[in-house]
């Protein structure tokens, strides 16, 4: 009896990987635009190029989806970008899809 809903959930997430994670309903294009507007210039100033090596450098800090969400919040607060919650989700989805690829 108790196992049935669990199997349903597992099956559901296997069949619909696009809905399996907390960031998957987010708008990746909006996330990209927000990063370009609010985040990139500082990362570029510190790391050069288009700033993306901050995410991909060998000793980059972020190693899990939870850590990514936490860092986005830290950078958002620290820089007073004041993105709304759905904007933060979009940013997370964009960064994860483009660079981190956590599941």
Contact residues for ligand HEC, defined by CB under 6 A: 35, 38-39, 42-43, 46, 54-55, 60-62, 68, 71-72, 75-76, 79, 81, 83, 91, 95
For the record, the structure tokens of 18 come out as 């696009």
Q: Specify the residue, 28 or 68, whose C-beta has the smaller distance to ligand HEC.
A: 68
Structure-derived torsion over alpha carbons of residues 79, 26, 56, 16, reported in degrees to the nearest 10: 160
For ligand HEC, the closer of residues 6 and 58 by Cβ is: 58
Count CA atoms within 13 Å of residue 60 on its CB side: 18
Q: Which region, left, alpha or beta, applies to residue 16 given φ > 0 means left and ψ of -120 to 50 means alpha?
A: beta
Q: How far is the CB of 19 from ligand HEC (least distance, A)?
A: 23
Work out how close the CB of 5 gets to ligand HEC at its nearest, in angstroms, rounded to a whole number: 35
């Amino acid at each position: 009896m108790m196992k049935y809903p669990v199997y349903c959930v597992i099956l559901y997430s296997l069949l619909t990987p696009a809905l399996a994670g907390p960031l998957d309903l987010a708008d990746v294009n909006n996330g990209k635009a927000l990063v370009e507007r609010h985040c990139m210039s500082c990362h570029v100033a510190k790391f050069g190029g288009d700033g993306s090596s901050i995410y991909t450098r060998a000793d980059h800090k972020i190693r899990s989806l939870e850590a990514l969400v936490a860092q986005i919040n830290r950078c958002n607060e620290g820089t007073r970008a004041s993105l709304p919650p759905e904007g933060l989700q979009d940013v997370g989805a964009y960064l994860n899809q483009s660079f981190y690829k956590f599941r």
